[in-house]
């Protein structure tokens, strides 16, 4: 793990390798502090949703009715909330998470009933709940990764099916209340008690899930800063020309972010792996269009993937792709297919990861490994830019944990060269 790369060697990579830049929210933070304080934007975002959100459905009548009834139920319930009531939802979600992790019998029962399981790289539903509790205990709800809350929507319905007696202790819990309000429709689209699909339906088409997507997408939009480069407050403190020269040395630009900051800096195509804000275009994904009227025009959130790994980063993208047959739907490509195809087309040998915390993005690392393997890259190389030593250690551990492929792929992946570069050094060299 001591494989630090010098700036001189990094320069050589930029000049000699076919190289991709893959960024997370850490890139956007340099341009405006609002991208760091997402929770600070929640109440103002809530008010924007009440006034200007557009939720439309183009599908069969049953699907349309279920989605609309569930969403309208939540909006009606939450419409008059003040900031304290809104944040109480997440405070109560934390209480629910704490109830779960303290009950070993419940955790055992959920595992026995196959309501929870372990991913191939060793992460379980309960592990994410523990992350929520740890973050909440150390820094309050604003320290919780915004994408982790959705695991509790799933676990609520899973626990309810298990007839767990402990839910009675949360009778006045606003998080549970709003999830129930979001499941008010009696329309059933799936009749399959032997599988988990009925359970997934309750989560994915829950009115609170839809509201949650609106809420955090709007907060990340940051009053239009995410789509208007001129509004970014830290731009005067940056050397924009130097940043442009740096980024345009990369052959391929991949981003996990929804904003269009890269489009203002990179001269070629920018590829958004988790969806993006689309201006003045009404898009449908899985029969649903989510958008907001703003001073910058109408902004679509329809293809944005936000939420936990289990459902919203793996299952939902697959469902979205299957829904491509609906003539109204935007044709979507799954994360794995997109990243592998792009890395192949651009003959990528090295991937530089910048501003990405590995906590909820194990799939990113796995798919880079698989893309290198499937594209038969002879000398694959990953450069991870880290802000703190803790981040560096987390990435190094995750790198080993995600290698759970068949033996030949695992052997190949273990041999991938990994180098580490301090983010502060890179910022000093190229951003200021």
Instruction: Give the model's pLDDT for residue 121.
Output: 80
Edge-to-edge order in the sheet of strand 278-279: 53-57, 288-294, 297-300, 278-279
CA–CA gap between residue 361 and residue 356 (Å, rounded): 8
- Do 153 and 263 reside in the same domain of the chain? no
Nearest to residue 65, comparing CAs of 238, 310, 237, 287? 287
pLDDT at 190 over 90: no
Q: For residue 289, tell me if it sits in a domain.
A: no
CA–CA gap between residue 147 and residue 393 (Å, rounded): 22
CATH number of the structural domain spanning residue 375: 3.40.50.1220
Tell me the per-residue pLDDT of 225-271, one tens digit each, with 9 for 90 and over: 999 999 999 999 999 999 999 999 999 999 999 999 999 999 999 99
Nearest to residue 47, comparing CAs of 220, 171, 219? 219
- Do 255 and 345 reside in the same domain of the chain? yes
Task: Single out the residue in 220, 253, 270 at which a domain terminates.
Answer: 220
- Do 73 and 212 reside in the same domain of the chain? yes
Give the pLDDT band (50/70/90) at residue 44: very high
Question: What value does the mean pLDDT take over residues 138-163?
Answer: 94
Tell me the per-residue pLDDT of 216-234, one tens digit each, with 9 for 90 and over: 999 999 999 999 999 999 9
Q: For residue 153, tell me if it sits in a domain.
A: yes
Tell me the per-residue pLDDT of 194-204, one tens digit each, with 9 for 90 and over: 678 899 999 99
- Do 271 and 420 reside in the same domain of the chain? yes
Q: For residue 345, tell me if it sits in a domain.
A: yes
Question: What value does the mean pLDDT take over residues 95-124?
Answer: 91
Q: For residue 238, tell me if it sits in a domain.
A: yes
Nearest to residue 129, comparing CAs of 165, 105, 157, 154? 154
- Do 362 and 335 reside in the same domain of the chain? yes
pLDDT at 120 over 90: no
Structural domain span for residue 75: 39-220
Tell me the per-residue pLDDT of 332-387, one tens digit each, with 9 for 90 and over: 888 889 999 999 999 999 999 999 988 778 889 999 999 999 999 999 999 999 99
Average model confidence (pLDDT) across the chain: 94
Would you call 23 helix, strand, or coil by DSSP? strand
- Do 107 and 204 reside in the same domain of the chain? yes
DSSP string covering 198-253, please?
Answer: HHHHHHHT-HHHHHHHHHHHHHHHGGGTTT-GGG-TTGGGS-HHHHHHHHTT-SEE
Instruction: Give the model's pLDDT for residue 2.
Output: 62
Looking only at the bridges linking them, the beta strands covering 270-272 and 53-57 are unpaired
Residues 6+ apart with CB under 8 A from 419: 3, 4, 5, 9, 381, 382, 383, 384
Task: Single out the residue in 220, 243, 259 at which a domain terminates.
Answer: 220
Instruction: Give the model's pLDDT for residue 89.
Output: 98
pLDDT at 171 over 80: no
- Do 275 and 409 reside in the same domain of the chain? yes
Counting the structural domains of the chain, the total is: 2
- Do 205 and 343 reside in the same domain of the chain? no
Lookup: tokens for 37: 């304080």
Residue 114: Cβ within 10 Å count: 9
Tell me the per-residue pLDDT of 153-164, one tens digit each, with 9 for 90 and over: 999 999 988 877
pLDDT at 1 over 70: no
Give the pLDDT band (50/70/90) at residue 274: very high
Q: For residue 322, tell me if it sits in a domain.
A: no
Instruction: Please provide residue 377's backbone torsions phi and psi, each rounded to the nearest 5 degrees.
Output: -75, 125
- Do 418 and 279 reside in the same domain of the chain? yes
């Amino acid at each position: 793990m001591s494989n630090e790369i010098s700036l001189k060697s990094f320069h050589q990579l930029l000049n000699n390798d076919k190289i991709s830049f893959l960024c997370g929210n850490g890139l956007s933070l340099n341009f405006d502090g609002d991208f760091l304080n997402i929770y600070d934007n929640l109440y103002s975002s809530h008010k924007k949703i009440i006034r200007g959100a557009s939720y439309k459905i183009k599908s069969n009548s049953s699907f349309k009715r279920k989605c609309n009834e569930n969403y309208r139920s939540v909006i009606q319930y939450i419409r008059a909330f003040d900031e304290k009531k809104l944040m109480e939802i997440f405070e109560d979600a934390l209480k629910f998470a704490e109830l779960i992790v303290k009950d070993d019998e419940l955790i055992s029962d959920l595992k026995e009933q196959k309501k929870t399981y372990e991913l191939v790289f060793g992460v379980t539903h309960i592990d994410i709940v523990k992350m929520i509790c740890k973050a909440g205990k150390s820094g309050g709800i604003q320290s919780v990764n915004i994408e982790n809350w959705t695991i509790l929507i799933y676990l609520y319905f899973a626990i309810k099916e298990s007839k767990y007696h402990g839910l009675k202790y949360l009778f006045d819990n606003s998080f549970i209340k709003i999830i129930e309000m979001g499941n008010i429709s009696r329309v059933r689209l799936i009749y399959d008690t032997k599988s988990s699909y009925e359970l997934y339906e309750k989560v994915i088409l829950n009115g609170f899930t839809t509201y949650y997507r609106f809420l955090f997408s709007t907060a990340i939009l940051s009053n239009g800063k995410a789509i208007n480069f001129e509004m970014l407050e830290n731009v005067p403190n940056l050397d924009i020309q130097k940043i442009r020269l740096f980024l345009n040395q990369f052959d391929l630009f991949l981003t996990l972010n929804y904003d269009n900051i890269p489009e203002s800096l990179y001269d070629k195509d920018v590829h958004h792996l988790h969806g993006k804000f689309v201006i003045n275009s009404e898009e449908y994904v899985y029969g649903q269009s989510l958008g907001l009227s703003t001073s910058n025009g109408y902004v679509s959130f329809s293809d944005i993937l936000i939420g936990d790994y289990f459902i919203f980063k793996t299952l939902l993208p697959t469902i979205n792709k299957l829904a491509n047959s609906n003539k109204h739907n935007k044709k979507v490509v799954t994360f794995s297919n997109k990243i592998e195809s792009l890395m192949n087309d651009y003959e990528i040998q090295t991937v530089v990861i910048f501003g990405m915390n590995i906590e909820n993005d194990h799939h990113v690392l796995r798919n880079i490994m698989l893309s290198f393997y499937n594209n038969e890259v002879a000398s694959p190389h990953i450069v991870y830019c880290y802000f703190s030593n803790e981040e560096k250690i987390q990435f190094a551990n995750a790198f080993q944990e995600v290698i759970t492929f068949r033996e030949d792929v695992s052997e190949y992946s273990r041999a991938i060269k990994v180098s580490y570069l301090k983010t502060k050094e890179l910022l000093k060299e190229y951003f200021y």
